[in-house]
Structures are given as C-alpha cells and as structure tokens.
A and B are shown apart, each in its own frame.
Chain A
Amino acid sequence: MTTYLLRRLLLMIPTLIGITFLVFMLVALSPGGIGAAVQAQAGGSFQANSQVAVEAARLEDRYGLSDPKVIQYLRWLGRISPIKFGQRDQVLPNADLIRPPKRIPEPPLWRWFADALPGAEPGPLVEPAGTQADRSLQYRQLSREYSEARFDAIAANRLLDSRAVAYAREAGIEGAVTEQNRADFDVIDSHIPDKSLPAWADLEAAGKRAVAAYAKAAGLQVRFKAYYDTTPFDEAGVGIIPGVLSLAAPDFGVAYSNSRPVLDQILECLPVTIMLNLVAIPIIYLVAIPSGILAGVRRGSLFDVGLGSVYIALYSFPVVLAGVLCVGFLASKDYANMFPVAGINAQDARSFAFLPGYVAGEFQRGWLLDRMWHIGLPVLCLTYTGFAVLSKQTRAAMLENLNADYVRTAKAKGVAAKDVVFHHVLRNSLLPLITIFVTVFPAMLAGSVIVERIFTIPGMGTLLLQAINNRDLELILANTVMIAVVNLTALLVADVLYALADPRVTYD
C-alpha cells in the first residue's frame, strides 16, 4: 500500500508539470501574450517613448517576458518547486521573500557609442547593521536605489530602441524593425553606423544615455549583490548542499494585476469552494443512495421508471440555466426575493452570534443560519446533477447483487427480505459508489466555477475568471496547480478508500 501511495504521489509530479506547461503555453502563445491586459490597462497605444512604452518595458524586465517561453516556464517551475538550486532566497523580518538581484541588461549597440562598456563602480560597500530591523531598513534603502537605477537603465534601453527604429527606417536597413515596431539590434549592428543621417544625433544621445545609465545601475547592482551575499537575513528553507541545493516552500509569486501575493488570494478563495463542495457532496450521497436502493429493489415499478425519468431530466438541466432561474425567480427583487443574490454571508455577519437567538429581544439568525441561507441556492445548483449519476450506479450495483447466488441462498434459508436487502445486498453494493466519486468530484469543481460566477461567491472559480480576464499568468498557473492538486488528491483518496473498504482489492 505504501509503495502504491508513493508511486501515485510521484506520478502526480509529471502530471502537474504537464498541466501547468499546457496552461502556460496556452496563455503565453496567445495573441497579446502574458500580462496583455495589464499592458492594455496602462493606456493601450504604444507610442515609442511614451510613458506607456516605458511602463511596458519595465513590466517586461520585471517578469522577464522577453526571454524564450520555455525559459520563462522553467523559471516559474523553479520558483514553485520545493527543491531549489543555486543561491538561497532570504526572508525579511516581515516574511517577504527576497532574491539575489538580477544582472543589468547591457545596452544594445553600445559599441557604437563607447569604446568599452564601463565597468561596475560599486563605491563603498555597505556593512550589515546589528539588528534585523536596522538591516531591513538598510536593505530597503539599497533596494530602492538599485531598482530606481535599474528602471532608468531599462527606460534608457527602451528609448534607444525607439531611436534605433527611426534610424533604421531612415538608413533603409532591411529587416531591422520587427512586427511589434521594435528594433532588431543584431541586424542593425551588422551595418556600419552612418553618422551623416539626421536620426544619428538622436540615436547617439540615446545611446550615450543608455551606457551611462548602465554604468550607474551596474555599480549599484554590485553593491546590492554584495550586501545580499553577506546573508543579512535568515535564509529560506533548508539547505542540503550549501549554495547548490536546498529545500524551500513553493513560492507562488505576486499577481500581475493587483500586486498581491498569489498564495494569499488563493488561501482566501480555496476554503470557500471546498466548503461549497463539502456541503454538496454529502447531500448528493444522502439523496441518491436511498433512492437508488429503492429503485433497484422495486425494479420496473412506477417508482423506478419515474425516478429514472426525473433524474435524467435533472441531469440534462444545465447548471447555468438552473442558476439563472434561481437568481431570477427566487432571489431577485422582481419576483420572490426570498434569498440573497450575492456573497456567502451578510455584510455584518461577523457581529452575529454563531447560533440563532434573540439579541435585545429581536430575533437574529446568527452566523450559521446566515451562511446556510446564503449558500442554499448555490448548493442546490451544485447537487442536483450528481443525483442521476450516483443513483443510477447504486441501482445497477443493487441489481447485480440481487441476482447473485448468495442472495438466493439467503432467501432460501428464510432470511427476512429486509435483512437480505440491507445486510447482504446493500453492503456489497456500496463499494462501487466510492469510485463514482472520481467522476462526480471534478464535475462539481467545474460546476462551482459557474455557480460562483452566477451567485457572485468569492471562490476559486471567481478568482480564476478574474485572473483570465487580466491574463494574469501567475494567478492562472497557481490556480491550475491548486485545482489540480485538490482534484488529484481527491481521486487518490477515493482509490485508497476503495482498497480499505474492499478487502479483495489490493494495490500491491
């Protein structure tokens, strides 16, 4: 059993890598690409040296969007993986993760403007101060200086880029301007600079500025790196081989769209979705199994046929439609107005007592009842499609066992009909129902996306839709990982339960 569990858990790793790679590529290769919506929010039009273009260049630098897609994916994988290579991250006193600073990108075409790229002049290095709080202040100061300089260097490079485009157009260099209106520096560099062109002056000014900005940023980077290398803060995780291999908690990063840590957002939303499903699943089992048993025992009766028809109708009833009808007829002000339209609790639910009671002589429904009132309709929409699948399986399993030899023997011995059904047949029929969980659970996870959207519930589905609308790759990938982990774990648990319940099944 342990071997089996271990193998299943290990097989989850390639599956997780595969699914995240698929999702990553879907988003990354889409027109517009990663963070397209964030860039579009910044203004939309890409005037060469406008604020928007500089902002886009900064985003591109921050998330490394100009690297090949596979490298970007591997970088993400490196962050998410609990096994880390190379220099370890450090943890600030307020639990923020910090990383060693990245290299400053060299200004393109620098040979045209300077004889040699200026070396980094770090200036006086900063010694880590005594207490953690002081170091934190020091770190923030250094970090601010460094990122400002880096930003300057990036902006200067971007300006150089747009000037190079103008220059290349004037010089008539074939293939020097890409479709995104950016300069292809390899092509330009292979030509001899034509200093007689009117655009040359602008280009040279931008180039000189870029080289200067690079020199300053590179110096600050060295200083910052030196400070980081003294390990002023606790290192994240556990080291295995110093400087090479370490174990650390996965880092889900920070969302593009709202700059909040992704993990925080998921930890807010995941419990809501899981709560909805944990309420809905027992209801499905409680309704479907007894009705399935009854239908199996009274095979061919009016009840059996009627139940079958009702269930297939319910199964065919789209969740979207049920949700819209529920909101429209039961919750909206125009009709019944019996249920709340949105959320999982009233606004002031935190001040409620847990159980219903009388507060100052007035009835107050309490937190629990309020929650139930809010999730009533969503849970209804989540449950009804599951009835058909589960009840049909129960009925089929009952029928199979009712025809078995041991049942005939039991009947022949004179065992009461009730005992035959409940002691002999039922116990053997319940086993396949555990595996049905495998089909019901993913469907319910998917169903909760729609239900959450219709009833405006702040769960994983809402988070995912939001992330997709913003093309927020960090959030989408983290969502995928979470949903996949929940889903795969649920399937694994179902398999293990099956083995525990049925002594005939072993996985060894």
Chain B
Amino acid sequence: MPPTTLSSATPPRQTVTGVQLMQGIGVAPAQGFWPDAWSQVLRRRAAVAGLVWIGIIAFFAVFAPVIANGHPYVFRAADAAGVETTRYPLLQFLSALDVLLLFIGAVGVPLALLLPVSKRSRRFKWLLCAFFCALVAIVVASVIQSAVGSRDAAPFFRSMRGKGWAPFAATGMGVALTALIVSLLPVAASLPRRLVFIGVGGAVAMACVCLTWNRPRLESFDYHRRVAEGTAQATFAPISFSPQQRFSELSRRKPGTVLPDPVAQPRAGAPVHRFQLGTDAFGADVLSQLLHACRLSISIGLVSTGIALMIGVTMGALMGYFGGWVDLVLFRVVEIFMAVPVLFLLIVAVAVIEPEYRTTYTMMAIIGCFSWTGMARFTRSEFLKLRNQDFVQSARAVGLPLRSVLFKHMLPNGVAPVLVDASFAIAAAITIEAVLSYLGLGPIDQASWGKLLASAVSSEGEFKWWLAVFPGVAIFLTVLSYNLVGESLRDAIDPKLKKARV
C-alpha cells in the first residue's frame, strides 16, 4: 500500500545538463514513500547498528531452544534390563511454538530470501501473513491444550484427553479463530489470497501442534548426573542448561562456576558444564535465561505495540474524521487514560491479576490496552488535517464505505508519524516489561531480563553484579536500538529535513 509517492531523485552521479534531465537522462527512478524513507534509514550507521542488534535478538528468539537447552540432543542410556536405547530429549521437549519458530527461521526465511518469484518485500509480507495465521492458531491450541490438561477441566475438555483427534480439534479451533480475525482485518487484498494464507498457516500450525501434542509435561533434568556417573552418554547443546533448570545448591554463583559432579569420583573425560555468566537466586543459568528471554523481549514489544496501534489508530481515526461530539466524547476517554502516568495504571492492572494468569499473553494485552493514547492523538491530528482534502471528499462522494475511506484512503496518508511513534512505543514496552518484572509483576511462564535484574539485589542487600550487568546491558541495547531506528525513521519522513536534502 504505497502512500503518496514523493519522487525524490537521488543526486545524479555525473554532471548532466538540464536538457538531458528533461529527456530523462541521469534521472534515478522515483521511489515510493516508504522505500525512500527506508533507504534514508539504512544510510544511518547508528540505525543499521540498531537493526543488526535487533536481528541478533530475533535470531536468539528463534533458535534459543536449540542453542541453550538442558535436554541433550542425543541421549544414550541403558535401562534396567541392560538394553541400550537412544533418545532425542531436546526434540521431545520442544513446544509447538518452538517448532513453528524453528521452521519459519530455518525454512521460511531462507526461502523468502532466495525464491525468485516476486519482489523480496512481497515475499516477506506473505511469509509474515502465513506466520501470523499459524501463530494465532498455535497460541489458541496451546491454551486449549493446557485447559485439557488442567485438573478442573470442563467436561468438554476432559473428554478430549487421550483422544487421537484432540490436537486436530484444538488446532482447528485456532484456525477458525484466525480465519475470523483475518476476515475482519484488511491485511491482504483479496479473499482467495487470505484463504491461501489461512490454509498454509493452518497446515503448518496443525503439523507443529500434532508433532508436540504428546510432549511430556514433567521435565526432569538428570542427564548431567547420569553422564557424570558414567551410566549414559549424551551430546549436549552448546549451552547445556535450560532456564527453568534449577540447581538450588548453586544459588547466585559467579560467572564461570563449574557444575560440580554429584558423585565423589567423576569419570575421567566426563564433559564439564560451566555457568558462563553465573547463576541466579534459584541456581538457574544466567546465560541460558538471557538467550531465552530474547523471545519475550521481541514479542512483548511488537505484540503490545501492535495492539496499541490497532486501538489507537481506530480511535484516532474516528475522532479526527467525525470531529464534533464523537471527538469530544472519545477525547475524554483519551484524557482519562492520560490523567495518571501509564505506569500507574499498568501496575494496578497487572497486580490485580492472580499470579497464575500473569502469562506473557496477558502482559502483552494489558500493556497494549493501556498505552494507545499517544497513537490516538497522533492519528487524530493527522486525520483532522486530511478530512477536508479533495481525495477524501471525492472518496466520500463516490459513496465508499466508511471503512474504506478511513483505512484505505486516509490512513496510508496519515500513518507515518504514528509508525515513528510506534518504534518508540516498542522501546517503551520493553522498558515497561523490565519495570514490571522488577516489581515482581512480570510474566511467570517466561525467562525475562527484568526478572534477572530484580534478583541482583537480594533482600539482605547483597549485590551480585552479573545479575545486573548482563541483563541490564541487553535491555539497554535493545531499547537503544529501537530508539535509534525510530530517530532515523523520524528524520527520514520529516518534510522539513527532506527539503534540505533534495
């Protein structure tokens, strides 16, 4: 959806005369608004560095489960009868989401990069749409899965236990919900194309869920001990600890601590496991937690900002387009949310949730639902400017439906400042997650940088620097990266600076 195409020609390399220019010699082809803005951003070294860092975080967000895991890749052990069996615990314990991300990361992204079908940006858009469909389906399926397994499951879910069709039913419900969302959102142009996305995404989701449906619920990590005793052989991941793997006797140890062998006489040649960045208060490996927390950091920023963007843009569009009493009433709502600092509201909203419901998803939803006011105000002022312009008037005169006027005609022309704000909002969401985790209100089901940071100063006032510095640097660099990209984007779309550049 290219908005107004401001043709800004890149300066010609060799000298050309005015006549040649008029003949079209030496004129670079005009770029669309967004490609132009994007190439401006890529010209900034700081922004590129920020993008690279975000890329690194995204890489670990996808591949952390195979890089840092307490379950070995291969585990060979003899059972009581003396028969040697080979197992693949790491694969066994992957969740559906892990499988999806690994699949997208290892297959989807290279395909999108290399396939010579159409433009690369379009290929990535397709990938993203299919990924979104699969993601929603998998999230719904995993919620159903936990509902099926819970002790006080509803009779309907209870009946699904142990049935072969259960994963298909769960994913099916997820796909149905995705279809509903996609049919409501104006993401892809035509209905057949949307159906293709839903079909592909649903199939991938189905495969991921079915592969992991019988994942053991109880995780026990006795591999290190068994290998040290010499009763088994294992091939470990480069970082051989999981974030949830706790060595209670090794609480708050400094970086480089070696996992002590539980048996008095360790077998010669047994692998040495080192906590490269130390352990936290529960004796869990810091490095492993840092890597696994990348996923939370990436997703909480993007998803909560996405939710905020949807609410804010809709509210702002309605306020700016209608004006009058709609504006008056809706702006009061905005004002209510702005009356106290967002952090206060967030603390109240998160704290009143029972801890067992404080998952990553609820956190994203809450952060999104309380931080949309800025975007609503930006959109409102843009729409106030646009509503009297000729193209909007003509769109209305033609009799286009409101949705089309607002989101197809006006939004692409007024969304730029909102998107710049969004990149700062992502940074803010990451900071907010860190703050909430520091206050003990973070998500309970995920390793998080903020949680590590919170355990740096113990209740007795002891300070362990590795629990503050490593996650702290990670938070800082990530927030800085988003801010740098945001700054560059803002400069790139700033019309005042554009005049100076041409």
Residues of A whose CB lies within 8 Å of any CB of B are: 11, 14-16, 18-19, 22-23, 26-27, 30-32, 309, 312-313, 315-321, 324-325, 327-329, 332-335, 341, 442-443, 445-446, 449-450, 453, 464-465, 468-469, 471, 476, 480, 483-484, 487-488
Contacts and interface: CB of A to CB of B under 8 A. Distances in A.
Interface string B434-477: 11001100000000001001001100011101001100100110
A320 B343 contact: no
Contacts of A15: 332, 335-336, 339
Contacts of A446: 341-344
B472 A324 contact: yes
A96 B12 CA distance: 82
A484 B338 CA distance: 9
A143 to B, nearest CB: 34
Interface stretch (B166-174, B296-304, B478-486): B478-486
- The residue among A316, A329, A335, A442 with the most chain B CB atoms within 10 A of its own CB is A316
A19 B339 contact: yes
A16 B339 contact: yes
Given A318-B476, A320-B434, A328 B468 contact: yes
B431 interface: yes
Contacts of A319: 435
B427 A449 contact: no
B327 interface: no
A465 to B, nearest CB: 7
A32 B356 CA distance: 13
Given A316-B483, A328-B465, A31 B354 contact: yes
B340 interface: yes
A69 to B, nearest CB: 14
Given A15-B335, A468-B352, A312 B487 contact: yes
B216 to A, nearest CB: 30
B348 A27 contact: yes
A183 to B, nearest CB: 22
Contacts of A11: 332, 335
A245 B46 CA distance: 64
Interface of B: 46, 332-333, 335-345, 347-349, 351-354, 357, 427, 431, 434-435, 438-439, 450, 453, 456-457, 461-463, 465, 468-469, 472, 475-476, 479-480, 483-484, 487
A138 to B, nearest CB: 43
A23 B344 CA distance: 10
A321 B476 contact: yes
Contacts of B342: 446
Contacts of B336: 15, 18-19, 22
21 contacts: A15-B339, A18-B332, A18-B333, A18-B339, A23-B345, A27-B352, A31-B353, A31-B354, A315-B483, A316-B427, A316-B479, A318-B435, A320-B435, A321-B468, A329-B463, A332-B461, A449-B347, A465-B347, A480-B344, A480-B348, A484-B340
Given A15-B336, A318-B475, 14 more contacts: A18-B336, A32-B352, A316-B427, A316-B476, A321-B476, A325-B468, A332-B457, A335-B463, A446-B342, A446-B343, A450-B439, A468-B351, A484-B340, A488-B339
A182 to B, nearest CB: 19
B438 A450 contact: yes
A460 to B, nearest CB: 9
Nearest to A333: B461
A450 B339 CA distance: 19
A443 B487 contact: no
Contacts of A483: 340-341, 344
Contact of A321 (B335, B352, B472): B472
Contacts of A334: 462-463
Contacts of A468: 347-348, 351-352
Contacts of A449: 343-344, 347
Nearest to B335: A15
B463 A332 contact: yes
A450 B476 contact: no
B345 A320 contact: no
A467 to B, nearest CB: 9
Given A312-B484, A316-B483, A471-B352, A325 B438 contact: no
B484 to A, nearest CB: 7
Given A30-B352, A332-B462, A468-B352, A312 B480 contact: yes
A18 B336 CA distance: 6
Contacts of B465: 328-329
B438 A328 contact: no
Nearest to A27: B352
A307 to B, nearest CB: 14
A27 B353 CA distance: 9
- The residue among B336, B353, B434, B475 with the most chain A CB atoms within 10 A of its own CB is B336
A87 B438 CA distance: 48
Nearest to A332: B463
Contacts of A312: 480, 483-484, 487
A328 B476 contact: no
A464 B347 contact: yes
